[in-house]
Copies of this chain bind each other. A is one copy, B any other.
Amino acid sequence: MVNKTTTQDKILDAAEQLFASTGFADTSLRQITSMAQVNLAAVNYHFGSKKELIQSVLQRYLSVLMPRLDQEFSQLLASQKQNDLTAVLSVFIKPLLELNKVQHHGTRMFLQLLGRGYTDVQGHLRWFFNHHYGRTLDKFVLLVQQACPDLPASEIFWRLHFSLGTVVFTMASNQALQEIAAADFNENVEIEGVIHRLIPYLAAGIASPLTLASQTH
């Protein structure tokens, strides 16, 4: 037997694709099982419920990505040299692009899914993520604080969430954006190109000087 894909994997692959393009709420189990060419009941048999299927789809990527990120963060924290913001943000690039190895269109799909996960959110995904990977996130925040010693913690909080918005939104609507860019500017940017445009934008925003306005409000 060559290259036997299990029922679980067929479901995960189909679900991933449909969730990314249609969202979690607007994708039915019947769509998923039909595309995966498995029986409807297989989802509940193998994953328990739709909610657990959603988590499994994300977990397939997160379980690879997050330990890698954690390791990179720890390494940067250990090296005592002064890290600038661009360097800290660039840590994401390699681990993210390596997701293409776990699945065919790994990076793009995963980021799009992550976008969906944060916007469709009813709560359980947010909890799931913080519960499993909160420690890793803390290391990242610490690195940003070290790179921006002049910014108060509250300001960094807001700016990191602003940045999260940029990333999440860009990735959730990545496909549409790339199509527009291709049509309007004859630009064929892969996901890698978007990431490289993103980092200087984010770095400039996060490190922007404190203004009088932002202090008095």
Contacts and interface: CB of A to CB of B under 8 A. Distances in A.
Tell me whether chain A's interface is mostly helix, strand or loop, or mixed.
helix
Nearest to A187: B154
B213 A199 contact: yes
- Copies per complex? 2
Residue of A155, A181, A213 most packed against chain B (CB within 10 A): A213
Interface in A158-206: 158-159, 161-170, 172-173, 177, 180-181, 184-185, 187, 189, 192-194, 196-206
A18 to B, nearest CB: 14
Contacts of A168: 165, 169
Q: How large is the interface on A (under 10, 10 to 19, 20 to 34, 35 or more residues)?
A: 35 or more
Contact of A162 (B118, B201, B206, B208): B201
B162 A198 contact: yes
Interface of A: 23, 25-26, 118-122, 153-155, 157-159, 161-170, 172-173, 177, 180-181, 184-185, 187, 189, 192-194, 196-209, 211, 213-214, 217
6 contacts: A25-B26, A154-B184, A158-B194, A162-B198, A165-B170, A166-B205
Given A119-B169, A168-B169, A189-B217, 4 more contacts: A165-B165, A196-B213, A197-B214, A205-B205
